Amino acid sequence: MQSANLVYPIYAIQGISTCREVLRPTDWAQRFAGNFSTFDKGRIQYSKHIYPSTIENVTSLICDSFIEEAYPLFWKEIMAFAKNNCLIIFIKNDPFSDFTVL
């Protein structure tokens, strides 16, 4: 997981519902993160502020509060998507704390 220059709090949205159902399509996190990605030498480069990851073998999306502050409409779309699909959202308030369920 990337960690340099993140803006706290950091949010992790796990692609699994509160009923333990895996979200389909499985590339949902790449689709969200792709909005802020670039291509370099034929490879996708995700932003340090929003990027796909894997938590407990489940596709997840990591984003920091920069996205919330700089792109509030996009942030609302992400949160609405997570809530509509009953996804588990974690928050980490500082570099020394663990992720906790939001």
User: Looking at the chain, which runs of residues are DSSP E strands?
Assistant: 10-17, 38-40, 43-45, 50-55, 58-64, 87-92, 100-101
What pLDDT was estimated at residue 102?
83
Looking at the whole model, is its pTM more than 0.85?
A: yes
**Amino acid of residue 39:** F
Give the separation between CA 80 and CA 63, rounded to whole angstroms: 15
- The residue among 3, 23, 25, 4 whose CA lies nearest residue 14 is 23
Give the separation between CA 49 and CA 33, rounded to whole angstroms: 9
pLDDT digits (tens, 9 = 90+) for 43-95: 999 999 999 999 999 999 999 999 999 999 999 999 999 999 999 999 999 88
Q: Tell whether the model's pLDDT for residue 1 goes beyond 70.
A: no
| 96 band by pLDDT with thresholds 50, 70 and 90 | confident
Give the separation between CA 25 and CA 15, rounded to whole angstroms: 10
Find the mean pLDDT for residues 18-41.
94
Residue in the structure block whose two tokens are 């340090």: 48
The three-state secondary structure class of 48 is coil
The better pLDDT of the pair 1, 54 is held by: 54
| 13 band by pLDDT with thresholds 50, 70 and 90 | very high
What pLDDT was estimated at residue 4?
56
- 10-101: CATH class: alpha beta
∠ CA 18-22-28, nearest 5°, is: 110
